[in-house]
Structure 1
Amino acid sequence: MFKMFSGWSWMIQTLFVSLSIYSPEVSDGLVQSCGYIIPESPVLTIGSSFTALCILNETCHDLGNIRADQIIWKIKNSIVPKEQYRVINTTVSSVTFNDTSILTSPLICNVLADGHIEQNIYGIAVTLGLPPEQPENLSCIVYQVENHAFEMKCSWNPGNHTFLETNFVLRYKWPTEKFPDCKPDRVNNSCSIKTPEFFVDLEVWVEAENILGKAVSEHIVFDPVDIVKPLPPRNLLVHSELSTVLKLAWDNSIEQTEIMHLKFNIRFRTSDSIDWQEIPLEDTASHRTSFTVQDLMPYTEYVFQVRCMKIDGKGYWSDWSKEKSGITAEDKPIKGPPLWRKVDACNSSGNLTVHLMWKEMDRSEANGKILRYKVVVRAKPPLTLPPANYSVNNTNLTLNLSRGTYDVAVTAYNSIGGSPPSVLFISASNSKAPVKNMTAFPKDGKLWVEWTPPSDSVNDYVIEWCELSDTVACTTEWQQEHGTSKSTFLKGDIQALKRYLITVYPLYTSGQGSGRSSQAYLHQDKPVKGPTVQTKKVGKNEAVLTWKPLSVDEQNGFLKNYSIIYKTANGNETVLDVDPSKTEYTLSSLASDTLYVVRMAAYTVVGGEIGPPFTFTTQKFGQGEIEAIVVPVCLAFLLTTLLGVLFCFNKRDLIKKHIWPNVPDPSKSNIAQWSPQTPTKHNFNSKSQMYPEGSFTDVSVVEIEADDKKSFSEQDMKPFDLLKKEKSASEGHSSGIGGSSCMSSPRQSVSDSDDGECAQNTSSTVQYSTVVLNGYRDQIPSVQVFSRSESTQPLLDSEERPEDQQVLDSPAGGDSAAHRQQYFKQNCGQDETNTDESHLERAKQVNPPVSEEDLTELQNSGQSSQACASGPERNLEEAALADAVCPSIEGQTVVSLETMEINTATNEMLKSYLPQTVQQGGYMPQ
Structure 2
Amino acid sequence: MTSTWVSVIAMLLAFVSGDEMLPCASVQTSSSVVVLGSPVTATCVIRDGCPLARGQAVHIEWHLGQRLVPSSPAANDSRTSMVVIPSFNDTMAYLTCCVQASPCQIVGGVAIRAGYPPAVPQNLRCQTNLTFPSTLTCRWDPGQKETHLRTNYTLHTEIRDSQENHTYELSAGVHHYTIPRKDFSFYLEMTISVKAVNELGEVSSEPVILEPLRSAKFDPPKILKVQAGLKKYGCLGVSWSLSQQQTWVTISSLNLEVRLKSADSNQWSEPVIPMTRVMLKRPVEVCRLLHGTEYYAQIRVRYQQSPWSEWSSRQSGVTLEKAPTGRLDSWMKVSGDHKQKHLKVHLFWKPSKQFRANSQNVSYIVSLQRLRGERRQVCFSLGHYCSFQLPTGAKKVFLFAMNAAGKSNPTEVPVFQQKAGTVISDVTVLPRDDTTLLVQWTSLASPGLTGYVVEWRPLLKSDPSLLRFEITDRNQSGLVITGNFEPYQPYGISVYPRFKDGIGPPKTVNAYSRQKAPSIVPKIWVKKTWHSYIELSWDEIPLGQRNGIVQNYKIFYWDEEGHIEIVNADLEKRKITLKELNAMSLYEAFMMVSTEGGSLNGSTINFKIEPFDAVAVVVMIVIPCGVGLSLLIIITVMTCFSNHKRLKVRFWPMIPDPANSSIKRWTSESMQDIPAFSDFEEPNPIYLSHLSFLDLPKKLDKNDDVHWLHRGSEDTSDLGESICGSPLSPSYSGTNSDSVPYATVIFSGPYTSQSANQPHVYLRSESTQPLLEMEEVFSHKSYQNMPTDGMTTAQCFFGPSQDDGPEERADAGILWGDFPFLQALTFNEAQID
TM-score by length of 1: 0.52
Q: Give the 3-state SS of the residue equivalent to 1:81 in structure 2.
A: strand
C-alpha distance in 2, partners of 1:351/1:630? 58
C-alpha distance in 1, partners of 2:369/2:506? 24
Q: Give the 3-state SS of the residue equivalent to 2:418 in structure 1.
A: coil
Does the CA contact (< 8 Å) of 2:228 and 2:235 recur in 1?
A: yes
**1:50 Cα offset (Å):** 3.8
Question: Is residue 2:457 matched to residue 1:479?
Answer: no
Question: Is residue 2:235 matched to residue 1:245?
Answer: yes
Counterpart of 1:540 in structure 2 is 531
**1:274 Cα offset (Å):** 1.6
Counterpart of 1:208 in structure 2 is 196
C-alpha distance in 1, partners of 2:574/2:83? 89
Counterpart of 1:268 in structure 2 is 260
C-alpha distance in 2, partners of 1:432/1:378? 30
CA 1:117–1:478 in structure 2 vs 1: closer, same or farther (change >3 Å)? closer
Residues 255-287 of structure 1 show CA distances to partners (whole Å, capped at 9, x for unaligned) of: 999998755544333243323233666xx4556
User: What is the identity, as a one-letter code, of the residue corresponding to 1:495?
Assistant: E
Counterpart of 2:145 in structure 1 is 160
User: What is the identity, as a one-letter code, of the residue corresponding to 1:523?
Assistant: R
**Structure 1 unmatched runs, 5+:** 26-30, 380-384, 632-926
Does the CA contact (< 8 Å) of 1:411 and 1:422 recur in 2?
A: yes
Q: How does 1:165-564 map to 2 (within 5 A)?
A: 165-171=150-156, 179-184=165-170, 187-191=173-177, 194-195=183-184, 205-211=193-199, 213-217=200-204, 219-220=206-207, 222=209, 224=211, 228=215, 231=218, 234-236=221-223, 237-241=225-229, 242-250=232-240, 263-271=255-263, 272-278=265-271, 284-285=275-276, 289-307=282-300, 320=311, 323-334=314-325, 365-370=356-361, 374=365, 376=367, 387=376, 399=388, 405=394, 409=398, 411-421=400-410, 430-431=418-419, 436=424, 439-445=427-433, 446-450=436-440, 456=448, 461=453, 463-468=455-460, 477-482=466-471, 484=473, 486=476, 488-505=479-496, 512-528=503-519, 532-564=523-555
Does the CA contact (< 8 Å) of 2:325 and 2:358 recur in 1?
A: yes
Tell which structure's C-alpha radius of gyration is larger.
1
Question: Is residue 2:130 matched to residue 1:137?
Answer: no
**1:295 Cα offset (Å):** 1.4
Does the CA contact (< 8 Å) of 1:563 and 1:600 recur in 2?
A: yes
CA 1:122–1:246 in structure 2 vs 1: closer, same or farther (change >3 Å)? same
CA 1:595–1:228 in structure 2 vs 1: closer, same or farther (change >3 Å)? closer
C-alpha distance in 2, partners of 1:509/1:459? 9
C-alpha distance in 1, partners of 2:462/2:119? 74
Counterpart of 2:54 in structure 1 is 65
C-alpha distance in 1, partners of 2:367/2:149? 88
Does the CA contact (< 8 Å) of 1:232 and 1:306 recur in 2?
A: no
C-alpha distance in 2, partners of 1:103/1:433? 83
Does the CA contact (< 8 Å) of 1:338 and 1:358 recur in 2?
A: yes
C-alpha distance in 2, partners of 1:277/1:362? 18
**1:332 Cα offset (Å):** 2.0
Q: How does 1:818-837 map to 2 (within 5 A)?
A: none
C-alpha distance in 2, partners of 1:630/1:305? 89
C-alpha distance in 2, partners of 1:480/1:439? 16
My pick for the range that moved more, 353-362 or 135-144, is 353-362
C-alpha distance in 1, partners of 2:496/2:564? 50
* Count of residues in correspondence between the two structures: 598
**Structure 2 unmatched runs, 5+:** 623-833
Q: How does 1:7-46 map to 2 (within 5 A)?
A: 34-39=23-28, 42-46=32-36
**1:297 Cα offset (Å):** 0.7
**1:478 Cα offset (Å):** 1.6
C-alpha distance in 1, partners of 2:234/2:499? 34
User: What is the identity, as a one-letter code, of the residue corresponding to 2:218?
Assistant: L
User: What is the identity, as a one-letter code, of the residue corresponding to 2:198?
Assistant: N
C-alpha distance in 2, partners of 1:154/1:562? 65
User: What is the identity, as a one-letter code, of the residue corresponding to 1:248?
Assistant: V
User: What is the identity, as a one-letter code, of the residue corresponding to 2:203?
Assistant: V
C-alpha distance in 2, partners of 1:152/1:387? 74
User: What is the identity, as a one-letter code, of the residue corresponding to 1:162?
Assistant: T
Counterpart of 1:745 in structure 2 is none
**1:483 Cα offset (Å):** 5.9
**1:573 Cα offset (Å):** 3.8
**1:414 Cα offset (Å):** 2.8
Does the CA contact (< 8 Å) of 2:531 and 2:583 recur in 1?
A: yes
Counterpart of 2:68 in structure 1 is 81
Does the CA contact (< 8 Å) of 1:526 and 1:603 recur in 2?
A: yes
**1:244 Cα offset (Å):** 0.7
User: What is the identity, as a one-letter code, of the residue corresponding to 2:539?
Assistant: K
Q: How does 1:777-816 map to 2 (within 5 A)?
A: none
Does the CA contact (< 8 Å) of 1:128 and 1:163 recur in 2?
A: no
**1:575 Cα offset (Å):** 3.7
Does the CA contact (< 8 Å) of 1:460 and 1:480 recur in 2?
A: no
C-alpha distance in 2, partners of 1:320/1:630? 90
Q: How many percent of aligned residue pairs carry the same amino acid?
A: 21
C-alpha distance in 2, partners of 1:442/1:13? 71
**1:128 Cα offset (Å):** 1.7
Counterpart of 1:618 in structure 2 is 609
C-alpha distance in 1, partners of 2:557/2:238? 78
Q: Give the 3-state SS of the residue equivalent to 2:167 in structure 1.
A: coil
CA 1:249–1:572 in structure 2 vs 1: closer, same or farther (change >3 Å)? same
C-alpha distance in 2, partners of 1:376/1:44? 93
Q: Give the 3-state SS of the residue equivalent to 2:50 in structure 1.
A: helix
Does the CA contact (< 8 Å) of 2:128 and 2:135 recur in 1?
A: yes
CA 1:534–1:333 in structure 2 vs 1: closer, same or farther (change >3 Å)? same
Q: How does 1:840-919 map to 2 (within 5 A)?
A: none
User: What is the identity, as a one-letter code, of the residue corresponding to 1:302?
Assistant: Y
Counterpart of 2:785 in structure 1 is none
C-alpha distance in 2, partners of 1:608/1:622? 40
CA 1:174–1:490 in structure 2 vs 1: closer, same or farther (change >3 Å)? closer
TM-score by length of 2: 0.57
Q: Give the 3-state SS of the residue equivalent to 1:181 in structure 2.
A: strand
CA 1:17–1:207 in structure 2 vs 1: closer, same or farther (change >3 Å)? farther
